[in-house]
Chain A
């Protein structure tokens, strides 16, 4: 179907005169940057004035500039024929798709679209698709679009939206130039004045002019004497006067087609603007359904207003997206912020982000204030906790809980946190200092420190466990300092725990330490025997329904530095009882917790003093760490098992 470009039809072989200068300029511009300058380009001219030459010239030039471009030339008849063949074969869609891959589509002789509604619709669809994809379409016709009978007005508009340009008949000088160039190409020499005489005959159809030249060449080839101007005039002129009576110009039609093109261009200028906006916003990843619907209308009251409104919506979406990304980095590329036609969805998404779809870590609900044992040593701490829970940020801000590991600092911290959460307007942030540092490192890594800060700045209270572990973490201290001031000034409660007395905090900046000291510092002392006994009794009672005071007293007498350790002792005894080693009693407990011979350790180390509790007393993450280090080397273990 596709016709190969005629190698002779190039811009270099085209004689440019006043009549076609504009068209050639436009054609060259199109060849240099297809799809961007004049799209579609519509060239019309009477037959024989070089339309096809121009069209193929575009193809050659475009290919010369970018050899990878897919250039296709075909006449409308080819187009129609192929379409019918494709439809008949049931390949209509394939036919359409085939053209969508063409970068420069050159369609010759579109005047034959007259009364072909189906083909017009097809061409309209193709023109739109190519334009949208920034691919070039160039069409030629022997008359302006408005004069192609029964041509769909939408097509006329599309053509007017690009550039409609005509090639008129060459003037005398151009005709001489054409004759000379062609004579030169044929290596034919003529006497002075011969070509001028032929040009003066007024043959303004280039094809006929070349026909005349052929006659001259043929005549001269068989003639013994060189052809003279007068002879040439008689040879060509006699025939010319009969064969081509000058066509009367239809000035009104020319006027009308120009007016049509101008009006279409002006009235439909908004279409170009809207189309450009669609391209722009689609390119930036926004959905443009609203604008596309505008294009479907024949007339829009105020397209400028619609475009402005659309742009305003896009800007709002961008702002919302930026805010959401600050709050929740994973919302950064969310499609919810890409459709100006659905602002509600975007607003809902932002609202979710604002409400803390990604809040800071919350206190663990397992730890309740009621579960803390009130003894003289802990009374002050519990009282302070109640005050803080009732009036956060008012009396003791910050509250700093100091005490060795395992005395219940974390329990107290989370317990207050849970109380605060119940009455708080915003999220209560409750985490350990190492977690805070870890999050900050992650945020720096994602380049989302702003979002990270925002999470904590929105918190209604900040509860930081193990604040002593921020020692030497300069950046964490900086951030905590700023956060501290911000929360403090806005009257939001802060609670810290530390295993070290504040005065002994090394590696913590003075400005931060003094701020901690500025609140209420309370101490939780190590558990004494009485407390351990009460913890054991309560654990036995609440978890196992066992009220044996002797058992509780025995467990309480065991060395244990934390309530957790006491609970673990209780658990071990009760599990042993369940496994059939006897009824739970002080005796059984003694057997379980203090067996007579100590098993040798595989690593050959002397057995540590055992309290019967698996975890060493330093508690928490550090104790687990220790256990890992104390494990035997894997080689030792394998050897032992093999034996």
Chain B
């Protein structure tokens, strides 16, 4: 997938929200959807089960309009978190320009976070993508929960953030940290434009 198409003068960023089931990936997208003016957002496609769990994936296209002469478009995806949907996750991950890893800050979800992170690395490797080269940020969601139930930002960093990438606290339900996370990742992704790593 091309990040920048100089011929068509398009910039397309595919951003994937990854993480264990029920960590809040879809909530992130829903919050963003709610804040985007109608003219800018495409239809949010969400294939969910009756219990509101993501079955396939969510897709939110954002039209950012013409920037520096480039028609700029962000495509936000989430993957189904449950471990048995790995085929879908692989599919969604293909051609991703950046990954937001949404971790559940609850202490009891510690292992799920680790397992999902491991799964992300495996899937990227399987696609021949060097994990170190993929722009990524962490979002430690549900930081609004009582402190005795959750790990702090630094504890989460210690547990997951081996590469010391940017990490954000969030309460996706109320929107705290949602746009900060998106902005953080977008900057990383877009800064690769000049590096010429993704030229059409």
* Interface, chain A (partner B; CB < 8 A): 146, 153, 156-157, 160, 250-252, 254-256, 258-260, 262-269, 298-299, 301
CA distance A264 to B194 in the complex (A): 10
CA distance A243 to B52 in the complex (A): 43
Q: Give the contacting residue for B175; candidates A251, A260, A262, A301; CB below 8 A.
A: A251
Q: Judge whether A264 and B67 touch: CB under 8 Å.
A: yes
Q: Judge whether A255 and B68 touch: CB under 8 Å.
A: no
Contacts known (A153-B69, A258-B183); A266 close to B193, Cβ less than 8 A: yes
CA distance A565 to B69 in the complex (A): 89
| B165-188 near A? 1/0 per residue, CB < 8 Å | 000000000010011001100110
Q: Judge whether B175 and A263 touch: CB under 8 Å.
A: no
Q: Which residues on the B side are within 8 Å of A301 (C-beta)?
A: 6
Which of B72, B178, B183 has the most chain A CB atoms inside 10 A of its CB? B183
Q: Judge whether A263 and B183 touch: CB under 8 Å.
A: no
Q: Say what secondary structure dominates the interface of chain A.
A: helix
Range of interface residues on B (Cβ < 8 Å): 20 to 34
CA distance A251 to B187 in the complex (A): 15
Q: Which residues on the A side are within 8 Å of B191 (C-beta)?
A: 262, 266
For residue A251, give the distance in angstroms from its CB to the closest CB of chain B: 4
28 contacts between A and B (CB under 8 A): A153-B66, A160-B68, A252-B36, A252-B179, A254-B183, A255-B179, A255-B186, A256-B64, A258-B183, A258-B187, A259-B67, A259-B72, A259-B74, A259-B186, A260-B67, A262-B190, A263-B68, A263-B70, A264-B68, A265-B194, A267-B4, A267-B68, A267-B69, A268-B68, A269-B193, A299-B9, A299-B69, A301-B6
Q: Which residues on the B side are within 8 Å of A265 (C-beta)?
A: 194
| B37-58 near A? 1/0 per residue, CB < 8 Å | 1001000000000000000000
CA distance A268 to B182 in the complex (A): 22
Q: Judge whether A157 and B68 touch: CB under 8 Å.
A: yes
Is B35 close to A, CB under 8 A? yes
Is B156 close to A, CB under 8 A? no
Q: Give the contacting residue for B35; candidates A156, A252, A259, A263; CB below 8 A.
A: A252
Which of B6, B35, B68 has the most chain A CB atoms inside 10 A of its CB? B68
Q: Which residues on the A side are within 8 Å of B67 (C-beta)?
A: 146, 259-260, 263-264, 267
Is B99 close to A, CB under 8 A? no
Is B11 close to A, CB under 8 A? yes
CA distance A259 to B182 in the complex (A): 10
Q: Judge whether A263 and B193 touch: CB under 8 Å.
A: yes
Q: Judge whether B194 and A269 touch: CB under 8 Å.
A: yes
Q: Which residues of B from 64 to 96 have beta carbons under 8 Å from A?
A: 64, 66-70, 72, 74
Q: Which residue of B lies closest to A254 (CB)?
A: B179
Q: Judge whether B72 and A263 touch: CB under 8 Å.
A: yes
Q: Which residue of A lies closest to B191 (CB)?
A: A266
Which of B6, B36, B69, B178 has the most chain A CB atoms inside 10 A of its CB? B69
Q: Which residues on the A side are within 8 Å of B6 (C-beta)?
A: 299, 301
For residue B73, give the distance in angstroms from its CB to the closest CB of chain A: 11
CA distance A492 to B42 in the complex (A): 85
* Interface, chain B (partner A; CB < 8 A): 4, 6, 9, 11, 32, 35-37, 40, 64, 66-70, 72, 74, 175, 178-179, 182-183, 186-187, 190-191, 193-194
Q: Which residues on the B side are within 8 Å of A268 (C-beta)?
A: 68
Q: Judge whether A255 and B182 touch: CB under 8 Å.
A: yes
CA distance A268 to B69 in the complex (A): 10
For residue B15, give the distance in angstroms from its CB to the closest CB of chain A: 12
For residue A273, give the distance in angstroms from its CB to the closest CB of chain B: 9
CA distance A160 to B70 in the complex (A): 15
Q: Judge whether B190 and A266 touch: CB under 8 Å.
A: yes
Q: Which residues on the A side are within 8 Å of B37 (C-beta)?
A: 252
Q: Which residues on the A side are within 8 Å of B190 (C-beta)?
A: 259, 262-263, 266
Q: Judge whether A266 and B179 touch: CB under 8 Å.
A: no
Contacts known (A252-B35, A252-B37); A298 close to B187, Cβ less than 8 A: no
Q: Which residues on the B side are within 8 Å of A252 (C-beta)?
A: 32, 35-37, 40, 179
For residue B146, give the distance in angstroms from its CB to the closest CB of chain A: 23
Q: Judge whether B193 and A267 touch: CB under 8 Å.
A: yes
Q: Judge whether A262 and B68 touch: CB under 8 Å.
A: no
CA distance A157 to B69 in the complex (A): 10
Q: Which residues on the A side are within 8 Å of B179 (C-beta)?
A: 251-252, 254-255
CA distance A299 to B9 in the complex (A): 9
For residue A260, give the distance in angstroms from its CB to the closest CB of chain B: 5
Q: Which residues on the A side are within 8 Å of B72 (C-beta)?
A: 259, 263
Q: Which residues on the B side are within 8 Å of A160 (C-beta)?
A: 68
Q: Which residues on the B side are within 8 Å of A263 (C-beta)?
A: 11, 67-68, 70, 72, 190, 193
Q: Which residues on the B side are within 8 Å of A156 (C-beta)?
A: 68
CA distance A629 to B121 in the complex (A): 102
CA distance A299 to B11 in the complex (A): 14
Given contacts A255-B183, A266-B194, A267-B67, 6 further A-B contacts (CB under 8 A): A259-B64, A259-B183, A262-B186, A262-B190, A267-B193, A301-B6
Q: Which residues on the A side are within 8 Å of B74 (C-beta)?
A: 259
Which of A160, A258, A269 has the most chain B CB atoms inside 10 A of its CB? A258
Q: Which residues on the B side are within 8 Å of A269 (C-beta)?
A: 193-194
Q: Which residues on the A side are within 8 Å of B175 (C-beta)?
A: 251
Q: Give the contacting residue for B68; candidates A153, A251, A254, A256; CB below 8 A.
A: A153
For residue A303, give the distance in angstroms from its CB to the closest CB of chain B: 11
Q: Which residue of B lies closest to A156 (CB)?
A: B68
CA distance A273 to B40 in the complex (A): 33
Q: Which residue of A lies closest to B66 (CB)?
A: A153
For residue A254, give the distance in angstroms from its CB to the closest CB of chain B: 7
Q: Judge whether B35 and A251 touch: CB under 8 Å.
A: yes
For residue B179, give the distance in angstroms from its CB to the closest CB of chain A: 4
CA distance A260 to B70 in the complex (A): 10
Q: Which residues on the A side are within 8 Å of B9 (C-beta)?
A: 299
Q: Which residues on the A side are within 8 Å of B193 (C-beta)?
A: 263, 266-267, 269
CA distance A264 to B64 in the complex (A): 13
Q: Which residues on the B side are within 8 Å of A256 (C-beta)?
A: 64
For residue B104, give the distance in angstroms from its CB to the closest CB of chain A: 23
CA distance A265 to B72 in the complex (A): 14
Q: Which residue of A lies closest to B74 (CB)?
A: A259
For residue A631, give the distance in angstroms from its CB to the closest CB of chain B: 82
CA distance A298 to B68 in the complex (A): 9
